Amino acid sequence: MTQKNHTFEFNQYHLGIWYATYRLIIATCLLLIFVLTYQRLNTDYQYPKLYLYVLIGYVTINFIQLILIKKIKSKIPQQFILLFTADVIALSLLTLAMDGPNLHLSLLFVITIFAASLLLDAQKALVITLIAVISVVYQLFLGRLFDFSSLNNIGNSALLAFLFFVVYGSGQLAVRRFQLLENLNFSQSLELNRLQNLNRYILEQIELGYLVLDDNCHIVLSNPAACMLLGIPPLYAYDKSPLYKVQPDLFELLKFDQLKNGEKFQFESQLSQYHMHIEVQKLIVPHQTLTLLVIQDARKLNQRVQQLKLAALGQLSASIAHEIRNPLAAIVQANELLADSDSDQQQHLSQMIAKQALRIDCIIQDTLNMVRNKETYPTQLQLNQFIPQFLQEDLADVTQQIKYNIQDKMAITFDEAQLRQILINLLRNAIRHNVPADAKIELNVYSHESNVRIDVRDFGSGVASQDLAYLFQPFFSTEITGTGLGLYLSRSFCEANQAELSYVEQKQGACFRIECPRVALN
């Protein structure tokens, strides 16, 4: 609240300076006009000497009051009261000297009352207004009483007095409006200052280094982490400094016109002991383009990557061990019973051992496919030709159970072998879950905005709501014989080809959707 009062007093003081300067200029101009035009317009003045003496005194008082306001900044409200009192007395005497109000002096009265409404509180401004009304109206009666004035201008004086009250009321409304706007501006400035302090605190505490450069390769903003990693003094944290002076090694490396959004590179400098990983981000702001460099310690980053790899490897190993344990336990149990069994039981146990061994082999093969870093070779595939050919070559045994519909000629960019593997997984899953078993499933290919959608839909019981969160996780399966890697591999293949695999809930059955960008046909 103290800061708000200080701001208000500061604004009030400067308004007072401007008003004091204005009244000095007006008084000086009136004096010059009188001196230059008195010989031709002497009949316009009822009491020319009074008019002259009042103007000389008014100019002198204005000059003294302006100097006092500038030099003595204490008791400003009291100085304002004296200032407006002098205005009202001087203008009243000038009105008397001209035998009643005229347009020019009335305008000066109005400006004085309006300024008093702005610079003084409501009660003091009302007192100034009443003094002005009394001095204008009752001076005619006093003049008539002492025979130095007439009542010819009493109507103009009454109208002018009414105008004073109107101006006073308008000034008070304006003051309230200004105060409301000032309060709003003050609250917004406090909120903005709070947000700036919060942003500064976040930038100072965060471990990532942030360096913002303008078009001239000058540092606009940096945080302490960036200064530490780059080996520059924290002095530059909030200064706009040329990069070539602060960090010449980085300036030499940056090809400023060739920096692309999302570009990443490694950086070392003689000024720093750190090996840095830098990512470039373009910031589009009004009237300029800024470049944000996100700086990290490459060694810590590599450590975090290795930790994530070890954690993923541990999770994968635990999942593999869990999946192999059940068939391996069945093999061990069947092997123990094999020696004491008759020929029929031995044949049954041998089949069980072979079946469980095959299951372990499937788990190992799927795991190898999942962890093998197989490169992706995208090519343009015309789906109206690819889909029928794929069904005949890879799913000839179940082609009669698949109903496909291709909306029109369209093409996508995808690794053909991986798309075949994805569709095999999705279509065979759909056939296994379809009801009735010999009913047809749907394979629909159609356009959606700028993408192509491939929907595989069955009419079984669908995926339970409690299983949706685990649907694409490795080794999750609702079937006893399943490895739970089919959907996980399918989604991984889609992501490698800039596509997306998702599950779309249906009223009946399940629908898996592949969505990828559509390309123009060659």
Q: For 235-288, write each residue's pLDDT tens digit.
A: 655 567 888 888 888 888 876 556 778 888 888 888 888 889 888 888 888 778
On whether residue 364 sits in a domain, the answer given is: yes
Identify the domain boundary among 284, 299, 314: 299
- Rounded-to-integer distance, Cα 360 and Cα 352, Å: 12
| 509 & 400 share domain | yes
Number of domains in the chain: 4
On whether residue 145 sits in a domain, the answer given is: yes
On whether residue 197 sits in a domain, the answer given is: no
pLDDT at 305: 74
pLDDT at 514: 94
pLDDT at 147: 46
Q: How far is CA 39 from the centre of its chain?
A: 70
Res. 474: pLDDT tops 90: no
| 416 & 337 share domain | no
On whether residue 195 sits in a domain, the answer given is: no
Enter the pTM of the model. 0.42
Looking at per-residue pLDDT, the higher value among 390 and 360 belongs to: 390
Q: Domain holding 225: CATH number?
A: 3.30.450.20
Mean pLDDT of 326-331: 79
| 178 & 32 share domain | yes
On whether residue 305 sits in a domain, the answer given is: yes
Q: How confident is residue 442, by pLDDT bands cut at 50, 70 and 90?
A: very high
Question: Of 316, 282, 305, 281, which is closest to residue 295 (Cα–Cα)?
Answer: 281
| 345 & 383 share domain | no
| 36 & 134 share domain | yes
Res. 396: pLDDT tops 90: no
On whether residue 330 sits in a domain, the answer given is: yes
Question: Of 134, 115, 131, 132, which is closest to residue 172 (Cα–Cα)?
Answer: 115
Of the candidate ranges 68-72, 123-127, 408-412, 482-486, the one whose mean pLDDT is the lowest? 482-486
Q: For 49-59, write each residue's pLDDT tens digit.
A: 888 888 899 89
Identify the domain boundary among 268, 299, 330: 299
Of the candidate ranges 139-148, 341-350, 443-452, the one whose mean pLDDT is the lowest? 139-148
| 488 & 428 share domain | yes
On whether residue 285 sits in a domain, the answer given is: yes
Structural domain that includes position 275: 206-299
Identify the domain boundary among 242, 271, 299: 299
Q: Domain holding 396: CATH number?
A: 3.30.565.10
| 158 & 46 share domain | yes
pLDDT at 145: 45
pLDDT at 146: 44
| 322 & 442 share domain | no
pLDDT at 451: 92
Q: Domain holding 331: CATH number?
A: 1.10.287
pLDDT at 103: 60
| 78 & 44 share domain | yes
Q: Are strands 209-213 and 218-222 parallel, antiparallel or unpaired?
A: antiparallel
Looking at per-residue pLDDT, the higher value among 408 and 457 belongs to: 457
Res. 100: pLDDT tops 70: no
| 450 & 328 share domain | no
Q: Name, in order, each residue with C-beta under 8 angstroms of 436's C-beta and a sequence gap of 6 or more.
A: none
pLDDT at 500: 92
pLDDT averaged over the chain?
79
| 32 & 175 share domain | yes
pLDDT at 195: 83
| 347 & 427 share domain | no
Res. 308: pLDDT tops 80: no
